[in-house]
Amino acid sequence: MLKKRIIPCLDIKNGKVVKGINFEGLTNIGDPVEYAKIYEKQCADEIVFLDITASFEEREIIKDIIEEGAKELRIPLTVGGGIRTLEDFRNILKSGADKVSINSAAVNNPDLIKEASNEFGSQCVVVAIDGKRDEQGNFKVYIKGGRENTGLDLIEWARKCEELGAGEILLTSMDADGTKKGYDIEMTKEVVQNVGIPVIASGGCGSIKDIVDVFQETNCDAALVASLFHYKEATIDEVKQELAKNNISVRSIAK
């Protein structure tokens, strides 16, 4: 049976992990690869590096981190943040990432999804969508960290991404993000029911129970988790044990 995936996401700025406390045994404090290795040991199913570096010059640093990550990790690595062109895609993949996630670049230039999936295969094209309710309560696509409403209908956009060749959708609810009150079940359900590609739920996770809930109440394929792990409120092992107890099929290292 296909397992539900738990994906830790690391925000990286100028080569360092932004959020997160220091884990024991970390040799280089703030080194994203060190964090990722710990998560792999805890049975993370994939890793996401999100580069939130502001300036173009500093973007070179992320390449070294991806190369290092690809060398050290034995699980898939997705990289997102600031990817605008096919050339960016190529560079990220060449550095050793397995998947590339694009967000506003896809909104601004939907053909990028098509070009990237034609050239590199849809399996490596993850479209990140930031969804949010507008004043009328309709799900819309937002960009710029939830500040700008694109006017695009969330479901229509998700379908279009699939049509253009996206291999997966990383759906973040901007309403839930940062609240730690749980995933946006309603939004996740809407998207999952309307596309035929895997959906990663993101935003709002504050407890192990939130992860159980999103898998029980929606048919999403994976859950993205950040602060819960970074602040050591839970380990991935603990999450998986709880999921297994609730009859949700997960991969475990010790069988």
Partner 1 sequence: MVVIIDYNIGNVRSVLNACDRVGINAVISRDEEIIKQAKGIILPGVGSFNVAMENLEKYNLIDILNERKQAGIPILGICLGMQVLLEKGYEVKETKGLGYLKGNVDLIKTDKKLPHMGWNELYFNKNNSILKYIKEFDDVYFVHSYMADFKDEEVICYTEYGGQKIPAIVGKNNVLGCQFHPEKSGEVGQNILKAWKEIVE
Contact assessment for residue 125 and residue 117, using Cβ atoms and an 8 Å cutoff: yes
76 binds partner 1 (CB under 8 A): yes
Contact assessment for residue 109 and residue 82, using Cβ atoms and an 8 Å cutoff: no
Contact assessment for residue 218 and residue 201, using Cβ atoms and an 8 Å cutoff: yes
Please state, in angstroms and rounded to a whole number, the distance separating the CA atoms of residues 140 and 119: 29
Closest by CA to 89, choosing from 71, 59, 60, 112, is 112
Smallest gap, in angstroms, from Cβ of residue 2 to partner 1?
Answer: 5
Contact assessment for residue 131 and residue 154, using Cβ atoms and an 8 Å cutoff: yes
Closest by CA to 102, choosing from 166, 9, 7, is 166
* 111 is a catalytic site residue: no
198 binds partner 1 (CB under 8 A): yes
Chosen residue from 18, 26, 61, 70 binding partner 1 by CB under 8 A: 70
Chosen residue from 222, 225, 226, 228 binding partner 1 by CB under 8 A: 222
Binding mask 78-97 for partner 1 (x = CB under 8 A): ---------------xx-x-
Interhelix angle for 208-217 vs 185-194, to 10°? 40
124 binds partner 1 (CB under 8 A): yes
Chosen residue from 45, 130, 184, 190 binding partner 1 by CB under 8 A: 45
215 binds partner 1 (CB under 8 A): no
251 binds partner 1 (CB under 8 A): yes
Smallest gap, in angstroms, from Cβ of residue 149 to partner 1?
Answer: 29
Smallest gap, in angstroms, from Cβ of residue 250 to partner 1?
Answer: 8
Write down the catalytic residue from 45, 98, 130, 175.
130
What residues form DSSP beta bridges with 128?
A: 170
* 184 is a catalytic site residue: no
Please state, in angstroms and rounded to a whole number, the distance separating the CA atoms of residues 164 and 208: 34
Listed ranges 18-26, 78-86, 149-157, 193-201: which one lies at the site for partner 1 (CB under 8 A): 193-201
Smallest gap, in angstroms, from Cβ of residue 142 to partner 1?
Answer: 25
SS3 readout for 179-196: CCCCCCHHHHHHHHHHCC
Smallest gap, in angstroms, from Cβ of residue 123 to partner 1?
Answer: 4
234 binds partner 1 (CB under 8 A): no
